[in-house]
Chains A and B, each alone.
Chain A
Amino acid sequence: MFALLKFLLGWGSSKYSELSKSDSSSASSVSSELSDNIKHLQQFFDLTPDLVIRRIQMEQVGTAASLVYLEGLVNKDLINNNILHELIHRGAIDNEIPEVSLGSVRVVSKWDDIENSILQGDSVLFINGQSKVRIYETKGWPQRAVEDSRIEASLRGAHQSFVETGSQNIALIRRYIPNQQLKIKEITVGERGKSKCSIIYLADVAHPDVLKELEKRMKQIDVDAVMNTGELAEFLEDSPFSPFPQVILTEKPDTTASHILQGRYALVVDKSPTVLITPVNFTTFFQSIDDYNARWTIASFTRILRFFALFIALFLPSVYIALISFNYEVIPFQFILSIAETRARIPFPPIVEAIIMEIMLEMLREAGIRLPAQIGQTIGIVGGIIIGQAAVQAGLVSNIMVIVVSSTAIASFIIPIYDMGATIRLLRFPMMILAAMFGIIGIVCGAIVLVAHFVSLESMGTPYGSPLAPMRFPDMKDVFIRIPLWGMNKRPKSTGAVQTFRQGHNSERGGEDS
């Protein structure tokens, strides 16, 4: 880990050479003179008023020492009760430095280790006459409590979601998979931000090639800081120009654990409450953790509904536009008449009408996100009832267009993962334009483009279209329908899991007599 840190520091040194001149001595070791060390620290951390240097005289040993930490990044209770109190008052045996009642203590002598630790929220003890320092893990910063996820509400699943501390998020995942094979690989990303990213996976299940690819890509990232997992995802994606999301970002530990158990990799980024999951398939975006929690018939129905919604959200507005402006011979005569009746007063061609309504809807959606929940409801009422109703009465849009656009919106919100819903909503605009220009031929050609792009996409080197392209029939048990869990003895092939079976052949289902 530190070798890696050093590697990253050395790697970036060319870029930040003029900036990092002052810490050219960072690679050197600590001197045994306490005053020299303090001077060095004060030089390094100039204009850092939150740096605390607590000088102490150890009662029993008699030597002078200094405890250094950044105020606000540390847990003060720990410092006061477990470190300072013990150092000052407790007796030592054989003139040794007294032990403190703290979980994690490291002894180091390199300056860059020390400086990094202070910046990360650890406290460092310098002792006069010793060229080794002790680093106490005293991290503690303002934290949010574990709450229910707001964008991934679940019906019956766990109501815990990730928080902004990486180690807590890892703990939340580990609670679901208390297994020795659950491995964590740490990589630090960002020159200044130094976000600790942990790749979590099951060593005997997940495919090693994916890990290699993931690590390779992560090490290539050269940025100042990574604020959120979404930023990282942009650097990791296979095809950045594809409209489709190629990783899943989730807030829920149970979803994450379920993906890890299927043989995927989870990437926990410190300081971000979302976890990245890779490799994923297109169909993964239509699975929700609630599906496994409901009865399989209900879950299967929901699945089919979601795929149906996908088609509605993608094609309904464009098909409507194509049918009324181009290929009206396809729809029955009676229906044309009733459409013509509602459209008689509308001054615009169908495409303009549709775009007005779609843009309106997108604005309502975007406005709703940023507002607090109470005002958000008002927006809904204003948008849905007043604008919808008034626009029809004013003769700006037709009734049927309002129906089409609102069913499209509902359909796009059914897709359980927000990113995919957003993609589908975006994709229907080019579809609508194609439909307005070329009718149903335009729609079909657009669909061919989508299918062609879909089959060539990859996620971390595994096919994105799996199990549809390439067709993998064993995986179909969990796509359009979800068969009972006791029938899913094998892990999905799409994840490339090396351990195939996830549960025994417990197919005996208890007869009448037992």
Chain B
Amino acid sequence: MKKYAANQITFLQFVFILHGSQVGTGIFALPRILAEKAGTDGWISVILAWCCNLIASVVIIKVFKKYPNDTLPDLLIRLFGKIVGRILILPIIVYFAFMVWNILIATMLYVKGWFLPMTPDYVVMILLIVPGYLVASKGARVLGRYSELVFYMTIWLFLILIFAIKDSHWIHLLPIVKEGWLPIFQGVAATIYPFLGFEILFVIYPFLQKKHLAVRGVVLANTITLAIHLGITLISFAFFSPDGITEYNEPVFNLLKVIEFHFIERFDMVFLALYLFVVTTCWLPYAFGAILSTEIWLGKKNSQAIAAILVVFIILLILLTHPSWNESNKWTQIINQAGIGFAYLFPFLLYIYVGIYNRFQRSESK
């Protein structure tokens, strides 16, 4: 029954997998997107988004409370039977795999743009994806250890941004709610992408050792993410002028450029290179989700082969398409739409369905 018992993760690993999957490449453009939609009140959108995340996560946990040893694909098979369940798993695999693809493409484009402009895109992708293969092919426990270790290794990167405060003008933030609440809500909708990640809960929940801590874990993970997002947004808003911020594509980079030490002239380069660690903790949970869902779909355990296929598939796809920033942005739009559906609406539908299903079954057994 407990088929995931041998691969359980601790509370903190659970927290850091969730948190890691939320903080990725979306963070660089986040202040600009917020400023475009909600002006300098964008930081309120961040807090609202945090609330939405929490509600959706709690609903997901509520759904799985009745099935503590099921991942989402397991649950779908349980609820809808083998054939319909498998058809429903397919979009989930595609969602996770597409998320991996999108994060990796964005990372690859950043790396190409900032470090290796002459290197072919597939070579950069091999550099990025091969280290991940070592984790993705191993299962939840290794993923948990990895996310946890990388969190402790890289958390100081975000603290470095505090150095930018000395050039900030907090007056930019005033007056609060100057354009009413509507733009703020629009800001929430437009920033789905940087906040996505908690939907990985669908697949890692059964691996959590102490299930009663799940809600606490979700709150903690989302709060760490909130702290990082909010900090970056506030510092960017205070640093750039309210009009100037929208002129930069990735304001966080420009913010980093200002930070300089006696011994390192361009700290932003070091930051970006080390940020690759953070990015791996973002796409690896999705890769894990895609691999696990495929395993359940196929009905057999062979994560190494599936991970290898995923890796080869992504590299081949790059060779064929040579994606650019325009395409990447388009895909992000799609992910945004899909994310709203999958991470925010789907849990509610599932919750209602499970409720009806249980009542129906109970009455049937009577």
Contact = CB atoms under 8 A, between A and B. Distances in A.
Interface stretch (B148-156, B159-167, B198-206): B148-156
A449 interface: yes
B145 A440 contact: no
Interface stretch (A27-35, A465-473, A505-513): A465-473
Interface stretch (B59-67, B111-119, B330-338): B111-119
A439 B146 contact: no
B176 interface: no
Interface string B123-166: 01001101110110010001011101110110000000000000
A471 B266 contact: no
B273 A469 contact: no
Contact of B131 (A440, A452, A465, A470): A452
Nearest to B276: A444
A440 B269 CA distance: 9
A455 B115 contact: no
Contacts of B293: none
B270 A453 contact: no
Contact of A469 (B131, B145, B263, B276): B145
A445 B266 CA distance: 20
A438 B144 contact: no
Contact of A451 (B12, B150, B266): B150
Given A327-B115, A449-B131, A470-B144, A444 B138 contact: no
A451 B116 CA distance: 23
A141 to B, nearest CB: 48
Given A439-B116, A448-B131, A449-B131, A470 B148 contact: yes
B266 A442 contact: no
Interface residues of B, number: 37
Contacts of A456: 134-135, 138, 142, 145
A2 interface: no
Given A330-B269, A471-B149, A441 B116 contact: yes
Contact of B135 (A331, A442, A443, A452): A452
A441 B276 contact: yes
A107 to B, nearest CB: 50
B268 to A, nearest CB: 9
Nearest to B128: A445
A329 B127 CA distance: 22
Contact of A448 (B144, B263, B277): B277
A452 B132 contact: yes
Given A448-B276, A471-B152, A330 B264 contact: yes
A178 interface: no
Contacts of B135: 452, 455-456
A465 B138 CA distance: 15
Interface string A373-413: 00000000000000000000000000000000000000000
A463 interface: yes
B266 A330 contact: yes
B10 interface: yes
Interface in A219-265: none
B127 A333 contact: no
Contacts of B138: 456
Contacts of B277: 444, 447-448, 451
Interface string B276-307: 11001000000000000000000000000000
B265 interface: yes
B62 to A, nearest CB: 28
A451 B264 contact: no
Interface string B161-182: 0000000000000000000000
Given A455-B135, A456-B138, A441 B148 contact: no
B149 A455 contact: yes
Contacts of A471: 12, 148-149, 152
B145 A465 contact: yes
A332 B50 CA distance: 41
Nearest to B132: A452
A443 B276 CA distance: 11
Interface string B7-39: 000101100000000000000000000000000
Contacts, number: 96
**Chain A: interface secondary structure?**
helix
B274 interface: yes
Contacts of A330: 264-266, 269-270
Given A333-B265, A448-B131, A471-B12, A438 B116 contact: yes
A468 B149 contact: yes
B111 A332 contact: no
Nearest to B12: A471
Nearest to B151: A471
Contacts of A452: 131-132, 134-135, 146, 280
A332 B276 contact: no
Nearest to B135: A452
B149 A469 contact: yes
A441 B269 CA distance: 10
B306 to A, nearest CB: 16
B262 interface: yes
Nearest to B139: A456
A16 to B, nearest CB: 38
Nearest to A448: B131
Contact of B115 (A441, A451, A453, A465): A441
Contacts of A332: 262-265
B153 to A, nearest CB: 8
A103 to B, nearest CB: 49
B273 A441 contact: yes
Contacts of B142: 455-456
Contacts of B132: 448, 452
B277 to A, nearest CB: 6
Nearest to B134: A452
Contacts of B131: 445, 448-449, 452
B280 A448 contact: yes
Given A330-B270, A441-B111, A449-B130, A455 B276 contact: no
A112 B276 CA distance: 64
A332 B264 CA distance: 6
What 8 A-B pairs come out closest when comparing CB atoms?
A448-B131, A469-B145, A452-B134, A455-B145, A469-B149, A449-B131, A440-B273, A456-B142
5 contacts: A329-B265, A441-B115, A444-B274, A452-B135, A455-B145
Given A438-B127, A443-B273, 16 more contacts: A329-B269, A330-B264, A330-B265, A331-B265, A332-B265, A444-B274, A444-B276, A444-B277, A445-B130, A448-B131, A448-B280, A449-B131, A456-B138, A456-B142, A463-B145, A469-B145
